[in-house]
Structure 1
Amino acid sequence: MRLQMLLQTLLVTLSGFLYSASDLISAPANELQAKLDLLATGTETTLTIPPGTYRLPKEGLQLRGLKNRTLRAEGVTLLGTDLSPSALRFHDCQNLTITGLTLDYDPLPFTQARLTGVDAKGRTADFEVSAGYPDLTDVYLEGQTVHLFEPEANRWKVGVPDYYPKKIERITPRKGRLVFSQEATGFESLKKGDRIVLNVRKRQGVLIGEGCAGLTFKDVTVHSAPGIGFLIRFAEEAGTFENVRIVPGPKPAGATEERLFSTSADAFNAAYVRKGPTLKNCDFSFMGDDAVNLHGVMLPVIRWLDERTFIAMRAHRGDRFDRLIRAGDEIRFLKEPVFEVTARAKVVKVEYQDGKNAGIEADVKKLWPTSKEEKPGAVYLVHLDQPVSGVAPGDFCDVPATSAPGFSITDSNFHDHRARGLRLMSNEGIVENNRFERLKGVAITIGPEYAFWREAGWCRDIKIRGNHIRDVAQGTNLLQKNSYTTGAITLMGRVEPQGEKTRYFLGNENITITGNQIENCAVNGITITASRGVMVENNTLRRVNLVREPRMARDYNLTDQAPISVQQAEATVRENQISPEN
């Protein structure tokens, strides 16, 4: 009782918190962790958490060693209380089912505001934080990412780019100023009364890690996360997600406006996983990035030790690909700038060494343009089943078995968010009977992000059928000369851009795009490049190519603008219905 009174007093006196004291159940945080630990080691197979709202400890909850267990959490909301660690971390869990749970954060990993004035000459825009949303503490200013929304409707503003001001100034705890460079695009679209979101990107909300397989999330909701909603890394299987919702949560205490944001980055991101996810009847919206990203590992060839053994590396010492990659896995060798597959082999064994002690020198920044590290973190000795020729130090390789193959994404709704719907770099999957609406990016891309992001790889054996795509490609980033996703459905390969000289290896294969409906799209309906063995059949396209921009994708030599565009690819296109309006 004394703890409960202390907790309620603390919550009442602190401003900017999402939930009021009357919403909370005062269960000691370590008690819930202790019950989870007991569930893993005891004889009971089911744990039912009493309904209510629980504030998690700063470090969140660790779910480890839960095998053949069920966690029932109907009516339960867990609140992450720190924006740096994950709220929930799963390790070595197998055949675990979680039902009914809701995850949120307090404080929120974003704040939202309204523009109060725009100075065209000074290239600034002043704003005031909306009632009930967090003050402008440092954590909301350091990201320098701004999302622009309509003044009244809860949706991203149409026809504007992503905004990255050179500075976000705090004038008072509730008032601030965006400062833009002279080169920044889209400044003219900022209007008094528009709403903005400043978000925090620090950590995923839910981490599913090594040793996990057979996880099922059913009727689970995520309202916010200071990064990706569900991040899956080095798991055996990505799991099953049924009726999972990633949507904005309730208005904060004292707020008059609904939330404009859910997760600060992707809703769902699975990589370095041997079996892909099953997503069914899911609803993902208002994220700061893609709805779904599936990809595999890409490794540089640092040095050959003999004709069957080479050294590779990663920037992070915790990347234990020696435990993920198995004997018999296919390995493909890739040569820049088009990442052509020049050789293939089978893995015999991968050995790991801590990068600090391996004595290996590598230009990490060149190899991994997005890395914050400067020296190798993990070094691997990769043993092959046969000699390979034509592979030089500086080339890359990938392992398709690590790219979450065997995925299924069906009967789901992806809408009202930044970036792309599905960003697929995987194999042996199906995308069927989903809805994509009001996206800043395109609906579906299939193919690797070898250049820059270093996300693998070439895709094969994927079916895209019966999906409904409407009002996508609403952001102007897609119209720029450095764009490389030019269709509501895009088959692609991100290579090193060389303008008109850019060429593509036909690395994606055996992809079918059938029975989809696409309408109200600024760019092409379907773009096929870097692919072969593609079937495009019985699709219906209405009102696509709504914006004609000659510069679009010029850097990548993808300037063709047509309802269905096939560029540097081999595809069969037949019996598609294209509206005369095009």
Structure 2
Amino acid sequence: MIARLLFFLFSCSAVMALDDFRPMVAEAISKGEKKVIIPPGTYRLAPTGGGKCVWTLQGLKDVEIIADGVTLVSTKLTRAVAIDRCTGVSLRGLTVDYDPLPFTQGTVTAVAENKGWIEVKLHAGYPRQPYSRIDVVDPATRYRKKGMPFLWGTKAEMRGEDTVRVTLKDIGKAAETGTLASLNTGPAADGIPHAFSLERCSGVNLRGVTIHSAPGMGILECDGDGKTEYLACRVVPGPTPTGASEARLLSTSWDAMQTKTVRHGPRVEGCEIREAGDDSWSVQSSDFMVLKVTGSTLVIASRDEFTVGVESGDRLKTRIGGPDATITSRRELSREKAALDPAVTAKLKDAPQWSEWRVSPKCLEVTLDQALPVKAGDSLYSPDRMGNGFSFLNNRIHSSGRLLIKGAGRIEGNLLDTPHSIVVCPEIPGNAAAGIDGLVIRKNTIRRSGWFCAAPWSTQAGALSITAGGGAQQLRAPAVFANIVIEDNTFEDCSGPNLVISSAKGVKVRGNRFIRPHHDKPDGTGGSYGIASNAVIWTAQCEDVEMKNNPITEPGSFCGEKVVEK
């Protein structure tokens, strides 16, 4: 009743001003309304009551919220929308943006003689802030510059009212005078990252939701049952700011969309992603280090300290085809309360970044329905916390980051224009447990991949890479991946290897088209692993690979042996 009345009042030609829709939504929900319509308009809002999120929906069930024509502008660099522990919630039409923006942009006007710094004159209408996370942008394409290296470790400072000096060894080699640059940041010191979050939810439906900017990721989904639907959602740059003449170069500061540690993967269909600051979309998971074994009770720790991890009913296992056990109970505890062996504690304390023993300080004590043959120092993964069963269908991407996949599902009918690559990789130390079983990559088009950020130390060398690195820059033996289908895809004008596969068993590569490969000089990504940068298809450490009807047409002068199987 309340929702219908509000819809009538605000659909009149003389629309009433509404400064804040949150009280109206809260009141309608408190009265049991299952359909709430937010009046169209632009709402400039900040967190209330000392909170860190602008608008939170918590503990709702089977509620539909229609926000067609609604723009929420967060006036603080913190989370704009949080959907927490909700089931069957539907949200339609909402647009999220920020003022001030979490990024600025400008034109390179000066370069140090030793190439150690550049100065960026900020465009009118953009924040006067010395943000240091920088992307170098080609003024002709208004897209990340071809051949740009990783610009990690930059320092930035204001020089005058509208110029930022960015310092990093050899940065001037990547950003000559006249180059454009975007400089972005994360949340405010008292804020939290990501524009939109879904935590511990089940069956949420987002339709036509748009993210124009974000102090971090655009949409982050983690933990819970999953089964989320993202339909016709967009992560794209927003309108030109007031007082500006230059269009935005960036949408999100970090990833556009990420899903991790959910039981059932999402359906992402008909979405658009453009100009994100990092990866375009990813489905993430992690392994669990065994810290203590007492019969069928284990103390474990995730490599990801920000998620809940496994829950009762989830399975744990060491490898594809190996035994698994189901968690019957769990509790969280600290390392101190876990009474770990002193030798284990010492290894955890001294573990360097990205090493095998570098795991979350939060521990889980889990009891299993049967004992597993593991000891302290072994690794486990959960096939129920990988987002398995996801589908990524008919999406359009023009963004220079990756599609990063750490679970099994279906990637079909998508267009990726000038991406970094599609990457299937657990991204964990070489002895850690991983298993991706049953992935279909079909009817996608990948255009102009392989142009950015050379990484000889990475296995992710192809326009499509399915790889797992081991110790001492070796590729892992099969089968980290199993039952993979790669068929009817089109690769156009890609630099470097088009398809790289390792550590897999049972792979079908059928009916793919490789058009005009190797017309650009490859950047050498994968060189430390011996991946041939001049191959079109390269495989190693694989078993039972079927290759059938994969024509390679108009190869360029940088092409060597077209198909390399090691």
* TM-score clears 0.5: yes
CA distance in 2, matches of 1:549, 1:153: 20
Aligned match of 1:386: 370
Matches within 5 A, 1:150-229: 150-181=138-169, 184=170, 187-202=172-187, 203-210=193-200, 212-229=201-218
Q: 1:395 offset after TM fit, Å? A: 2.1
> CA 1:536/1:356 → structure 2, altered by over 3 Å: closer, same or farther?
closer
CA displacement at 1:506 relative to structure 2: 2.3
2:326 maps to 1:353: no
Tell me the distance in 2 between the aligned counterparts of 1:517 and 1:314.
37
* C-alpha distance in structure 2 between counterparts of 1:550 and 1:95, whole Å: 46
Question: Residue 448 of structure 1 contacts residue 457 of structure 1 at CA under 8 Å; is this kept in 2?
Answer: yes
Partner of 1:461: 438
1:98/1:511 CA distance change after superposition, 3 Å: same
Give the count of matched residue pairs: 525
Q: Which amino acid aligns with 1:244?
A: C
Distance 1:208 1:577 in 2: 43
Deviation at 1:89, TM superposition (A): 0.6
CA 1:97–1:453 in structure 2 vs 1: closer, same or farther (change >3 Å)? farther
Structure 1 residue 581 corresponds to structure 2 residue 563? no
Residue pair 1:282, 1:413 contacting (<8 A) in 2 also: yes
Counterpart mapping for 1:323-472 below 5 A: 324-327=310-313, 329-333=314-318, 343-355=322-334, 358=337, 359-360=339-340, 361=345, 364=348, 369=353, 377-389=361-373, 391-415=374-398, 417-420=399-402, 422-427=403-408, 429-439=409-419, 441-442=420-421, 444-451=422-429, 457-472=434-449
Q: Given residue 178 of structure 1, which amino acid in structure 2 is its aligned partner?
A: V
AA at the equivalent of 1:579: T
The structure-2 alpha-carbon separation of the partners of 1:376 and 1:290, relative to structure 1 and needing over 3 Å to count, comes to closer
Q: Match for residue 463 of structure 2?
A: 488
In structure 1, give the amino acid aligned to 2:441: I
- 2:228 is the counterpart of 1:239: yes
Mapping of 1:522-561 within 5 angstroms? 522-548=495-521, 551-559=524-532, 561=534
Alignment of 1:283 with 2:272, yes or no, is yes
| TM value normalised by structure 2 | 0.86
Distance verdict in 2 for CA 1:419–1:123, change over 3 Å:
same
For the Cα contact (< 8 Å) 2:316–2:382, is it kept in 1? yes
Give the AA of the match of 2:163.
K
Shift, 1:33, TM fit? 2.6
Q: Provide the rounded CA distance (Å) in 1 between the counterparts of 2:96 and 2:258.
A: 17
Identity among equivalent pairs (%): 27
Amino acid at match of 1:437: D
Counterpart secondary structure, 1:349: strand
CA positional deviation for 1:490: 1.1
In 1, Cα distance between equivalents of 2:431 and 2:226: 23
CA offsets, 1:35-83, max 9 Å, x none?
3333433222111111111012233101012211111111110012221
**Once the 2 structures are TM-superposed, how far is the Cα of residue 546 of structure 1 from its aligned partner?**
3.7
- Unaligned 5+ residue runs, structure 2? 1-14, 48-52, 188-192, 557-566
Choose the corresponding residue for 1:103, options 89, 92, 96.
96
Work out whether residues 326 and 370 of structure 2, in 8 Å CA contact, stay in contact via their aligned partners in 1.
Answer: no
Q: Does the 8 Å contact 2:286/2:303 carry over to 1?
A: no
Contact kept in structure 2, 1:302 and 1:362, CA below 8 Å? no
Distance 2:141 2:477 in 1: 41
Asked if the contact 1:356–1:376 (Cα under 8 Å) also holds between the matched residues in 2, the reply is: no
Shift of 1:384: 2.8
Aligned partners of 1:515, 1:241: CA distance in 2, in Å?
A: 25
Query: Among 299, 302, 314, which residue is 1:311 paired with?
Result: 299
Matching residue within 488, 513, 517 for 1:515: 488
Q: 1:82 to 1:116 in 2, by over 3 A?
A: same
Q: Which of 129, 133, 138 is equivalent to 1:145?
A: 133
1:370 Cα deviation (Å)? Answer: 6.4
Given that 2:289 and 2:303 are in contact with CA atoms closer than 8 Å, whether structure 1 keeps it comes out as no
Contact 1:347 1:385 in 2 (8 A): yes
Q: Check conservation: 2:36, 2:65, Cα contact below 8 A.
A: yes
1:73 aligned residue (67, 77, 88): 67
**Relative to structure 1, is the Cα distance of residues 245 and 453 closer, same or farther in structure 2, using a 3 angstrom cutoff?**
farther
